[in-house]
Chain A
Amino acid sequence: MPCKRTALSLALAGLMSATLAQAGEVEVLHWWTSGGEAKAAAELKATMQKQGHTWKDFAVAGGAGDSAMTVLKSRVVSGNAPAAAQIKGPSIQEWAREGVLANMDTVAKANKWDDLLPVVIADGLKYKGSYVAAPVNVHRVNWLWVNPEAFKKANAKLPTTWDEFFAAAEALKKAGVIPVAHGGQNWQDFTTFEAVVLGVGGADFYKKAFVQLDAGTLKSPTMGKVLETFKKVKSYTDKNAPGRDWNLATAMVIKGEAGMQIMGDWAKGEFLAAGKAPGKDFACVAAPGTAKSYTYNVDSFALFKLKDPANQKAQQDLAAAIMSPEFQEVFNLNKGSIPVRTGMKLDKFDDCAKTSAADFIASAKGGTLVPSIAHGMAVPSAIEGAMKDVVSQYWNDDKMTPAAAMDKLVAAAKTK
């Protein structure tokens, strides 16, 4: 009798502790606080809560995540890292080098991540061969967003090369429309610059110059041509561009004040939120000369080492949930990007997203899938920052020659 009671109570205790052990807490640091982004983040929270875990939101506003990164540093140094933080690109490896990221190989193998992700993207999520981050989406950066009505008014044609771009810009200017909507912030300057690099130089030139940081390529005549083309784009922007936020520039295209904007596919979210229909009220074309290339920006969550086993389990569930087809579909429908998980049905996505997904696979096969430098995918933040300084300086200073800019780019590439 006593044995039976002891056994029963032990069994009950075991059952209770099992269910308690299931409910872990995930604290997630992100900066998705604007409309579509916040809805997308709420989807992940709902998924976690359905699995019985608690979601502790840790949203720190600020478009490029500067404030969030500062807060993250202080949390990590004090030994109290969150379960996951929105970190992407080489920063993942920088953090992993500090020894604070958790190994996600069990989850990755169980869910076949290596089969579902293009190699170049999977490598960006690994440190010394093990997964330390989970990817959420793929943004294409080399898009040109166009207002078809403005083009009709100016009798201009959608450009596919940089020469056609300038012809269209001239026509728009004559019709009284600002040809290119631009925001004068250094990441926007560089987004335009990398589109020119890709369009004028091609994917191999882009990789050699800005991923491998080869000094010979950075000082080549092609780079000179790139810089001249880049400066020419400035003459088609309006003079109030300095300091303007990207979404205000998109608003100019939406309202028909401007004809084109070179921006990533998050601009699509602005068009959709304003009730515009793709194909009718706005058109998406690849940035001039880059139809066969794809500049990617993959948002991901880096997963930190945790001490509590319940939270570790919750963290692994989070990683699995991030790569699950349901989450990938819902999140990306709300954010305007496409799922990073390949092989998914894209019926619910609009035409721009379908084109993006098709080009993603094609460019991965063709070796023209390149990381975006402007969005921190290609090189560590110190080098990226120094290069952005040079490019923005060149954009704003009329007295700087392409030769001087090239010398500065070479020096910036050496930043430690």
Chain B
Amino acid sequence: MAPSSARLAAWMPKLVLAPSFVLALLFIYGLMAWNGYLSLSASRLLPNYEFVGFDQYVTLFDSERWWVALKNLGIFGGLFIFFGMAIGLLLAILLDQKIRAEGVLRTIYLYPMALSFIVTGTAWKWILNPGLGLEKLVNDWGFAGFQFDWLINPDRAIYTVVIAGVWQSAGFVMALFLAGLRGIDDSILKAAQIDGASLPRIYWRIIIPSLRPVFFSTLMVLSHLAIKSFDLVMALTAGGPGFATDVPATFMYTMAFTRGQIGLGAASATVMLATVAAIVVPYLYSELRAKK
């Protein structure tokens, strides 16, 4: 009895996890593989399994709209991550100063994350519309020369997406950093203060370096949000004046579903996957290696 129940106990975790594992294998990795095959096929309106090699990728990288989408991803992703982390960190440091209404303020800053990106996009679309929102408000207040028409300017529209995105995620980053700050050992800080270090110096030299794990996890979350961002762009600019704020996610949707070019959409999705993998795989590798 004892050896068999011991064996059962050893196999139990694997058994319990097996259904989820199989489902994940099939529906995540299996479908990724199917998508990869479709990107090498001549699929147009419906999936079609005729192999055409890298033709779809050639068409993809020949497309001007794709390069605009990639450029926008770079601009949006870079600025979104940078400002998201900077503002989140600043808010966390300020909230960490043992102030009175910390609970209330923390909730207020975290609220935007509870909104769907569609709501954020629509609300900011109204706020940033020159005839309806901020520009009209300031003009009505008397500053007739004030102009803020980035939303309708093909060159500047992508920055409005950054504004809306940072507004939504800064609170979440703040919460992550606050948790990290709270986990720092007090004794190091006290020792630094005894040594006569000023507060900014303490933050810069001791606290921020010890937040490295939090930086990495925030980077992971924000970069995946940035690469995936579809609903925010659709709600805010629907691809922008023309296709000026197109991002790979909206490009993929348009090609695969609206224009009957499933092969091209699959190719763009595979490129997006490669981008994500390029960020995540080295990080995972370094983390796992560190553990050993």
B254 touches A95 (CB 8 A): no
A389 touches B243 (CB 8 A): yes
Closest to B257 in A: A70
Say yes or no: is B244 at the interface (Cβ < 8 Å to chain A): yes
Alpha-carbon separation in the docked complex, A380 to B59 (Å)? 17
Do A392 and B258 form a contact, CB below 8 Å, given A76-B46, A184-B152? Answer: no
Say yes or no: is B260 at the interface (Cβ < 8 Å to chain A): yes
Tally of A interface residues using CB under 8 Å: 34
CB-CB contacts of B20-49 with A at 8 A, as 1s and 0s?
000000000000000000000000111100
Interface majority SS (helix, strand, loop, mixed), chain B: loop
Do A385 and B131 form a contact, CB below 8 Å, given A186-B242, A239-B149, A396-B244? Answer: no
A185 touches B258 (CB 8 A): no
Say yes or no: is A397 at the interface (Cβ < 8 Å to chain B): yes
B242 touches A389 (CB 8 A): yes
Closest to A98 in B: B46
Closest to B45 in A: A94
B129 touches A240 (CB 8 A): yes
Alpha-carbon separation in the docked complex, A141 to B75 (Å)? 39
B45 touches A238 (CB 8 A): no
Residues of the A chain whose Cβ atoms lie less than 8 Å from the Cβ of B244:
396
B152 touches A242 (CB 8 A): yes
Say yes or no: is A152 at the interface (Cβ < 8 Å to chain B): no
B260 touches A396 (CB 8 A): no
B17: min CB distance to chain A, Å = 29
Residues of the B chain whose Cβ atoms lie less than 8 Å from the Cβ of A385:
254, 258-259
Do A381 and B241 form a contact, CB below 8 Å, given A77-B46, A95-B45, A239-B152? Answer: no
Alpha-carbon separation in the docked complex, A73 to B125 (Å)? 31
Alpha-carbon separation in the docked complex, A384 to B152 (Å)? 24
Closest to A398 in B: B154
Residues of the A chain whose Cβ atoms lie less than 8 Å from the Cβ of B258:
66, 69, 381, 385
Question: Which of B59, B129, B154, B254 sits near A416, CB closer than 8 Å?
Answer: B59
Do A243 and B237 form a contact, CB below 8 Å, given A389-B242, A389-B243, A393-B242? Answer: yes
Say yes or no: is B180 at the interface (Cβ < 8 Å to chain A): no
CB-CB contacts of A212-248 with B at 8 A, as 1s and 0s?
0000000000000000000000000011111100000
Alpha-carbon separation in the docked complex, A314 to B83 (Å)? 59
Do A242 and B257 form a contact, CB below 8 Å, given A185-B238, A389-B65, A396-B242? Answer: no
Say yes or no: is B130 at the interface (Cβ < 8 Å to chain A): yes
Alpha-carbon separation in the docked complex, A393 to B241 (Å)? 8
A382 touches B46 (CB 8 A): no
Residues of the A chain whose Cβ atoms lie less than 8 Å from the Cβ of B129:
240
Closest to A394 in B: B242
A382 touches B242 (CB 8 A): no
Alpha-carbon separation in the docked complex, A66 to B253 (Å)? 10
B260 touches A77 (CB 8 A): no
A392 touches B254 (CB 8 A): no
Question: Which of B132, B241, B260 sits near A380, CB closer than 8 Å?
Answer: B260
A382: min CB distance to chain B, Å = 5
> Which of A76, A77, A91, A240 has its CB near the most chain B CB atoms (within 10 A)?
A240
Say yes or no: is A395 at the interface (Cβ < 8 Å to chain B): yes
Alpha-carbon separation in the docked complex, A95 to B260 (Å)? 10
B241 touches A242 (CB 8 A): yes
CB-CB contacts of A169-197 with B at 8 A, as 1s and 0s?
00000000000000011100000000000
Question: Which of B59, B237, B257 sits near A66, CB closer than 8 Å?
Answer: B257
> Which of B59, B64, B257, B260 has its CB near the most chain A CB atoms (within 10 A)?
B260
Question: Which of B44, B45, B59, B238 sits near A243, CB closer than 8 Å?
Answer: B238
Say yes or no: is B72 at the interface (Cβ < 8 Å to chain A): no
Alpha-carbon separation in the docked complex, A76 to B262 (Å)? 15
Closest to B48 in A: A98
Residues of the B chain whose Cβ atoms lie less than 8 Å from the Cβ of A95:
45
A243 touches B125 (CB 8 A): yes
Closest to A383 in B: B259
The 6 closest A-B pairs by CB, nearest first: A240-B131, A392-B242, A385-B259, A396-B241, A396-B242, A242-B152
List, sorted by A's number, 21 A–B pairs whose CB atoms are closer than 8 Å.
Answer: A66-B258, A69-B257, A73-B45, A95-B45, A238-B131, A240-B152, A243-B151, A381-B258, A381-B260, A382-B44, A382-B259, A382-B260, A382-B261, A385-B259, A389-B65, A393-B242, A395-B242, A396-B241, A397-B154, A397-B242, A408-B64
Contacts from A to B (Cβ < 8 Å): 66, 69-70, 73, 76-77, 91, 94-95, 97-98, 184-186, 238-243, 380-382, 384-386, 389, 392-393, 395-397, 408, 416
16 extra interchain contacts, Cβ-Cβ under 8 A, other than A186-B243, A243-B238? A66-B257, A66-B258, A239-B130, A239-B131, A240-B130, A240-B131, A241-B152, A242-B151, A242-B241, A382-B44, A382-B260, A392-B241, A392-B243, A396-B241, A396-B242, A408-B64
